[in-house]
Amino acid sequence: MNIEQLITEELIIFDETIRSKSSLFDCLGRRLEASGRVKNSKKIIKDFLKRENETSTGIEDGFGIPHAKSKYVLEPTLCFIHSGRITDYVGMDEQPIECVFAIAVPKKSADEHLEILSSLSRKLIDPVFRQQLKEAVTAAEILTCLTE
């Protein structure tokens, strides 16, 4: 799966004021609705939080991969958010999350979110890739990282 086809510059957010899980998902929901990728920001936020309450999607080294499969999603979408350190959202290594790849797919999608998750996870194993994402300051740099 080519995950770079699921993300655009408008879906890449740099916002150091995001410091809580709720502000992260609020920002994410608003951006997804503004981009025309979801029908209802409040409902998709609820879907992300519901999934997050089942099991944390924080992985390690400051990265998280929240995901939602929802009837409010119009097309498979990937969003990247570089935030401040989110102290109530930690990875398996207990480090606060600061870089998030959020996956949103329509409810009727079969296992598409698993393919996206798998593809992202393979990339995130590489410490150089993770560092490039952390050091990026523009959406173009994030897109370049994803296409290399």
Structure tokens at 87: 């102290």
Structural domain boundaries, residue 92: 3-147
pTM: 0.94
Structure tokens at 124: 């995130």
List the CATH number of the domain containing 41.
3.40.930.10
Which burial class, exposed, middle or buried, applies to 111 when counting CB atoms under 10 A from its CB (0-12, 13-18, 19+)? exposed
**Residue-wise pLDDT tens for the chain (148 aa)?**
688 899 999 999 999 999 999 999 999 999 999 999 999 999 999 999 999 999 999 999 999 999 999 999 999 999 999 999 999 999 999 999 999 999 999 998 878 888 999 999 999 999 999 999 999 999 999 999 999 8
Using the 8-state DSSP alphabet, how is residue 121 labeled? Answer: H
Strands 96-106 vs 77-90: parallel, antiparallel or unpaired = antiparallel
Q: Into how many domains does the chain fold?
A: 1
SS3 67: strand
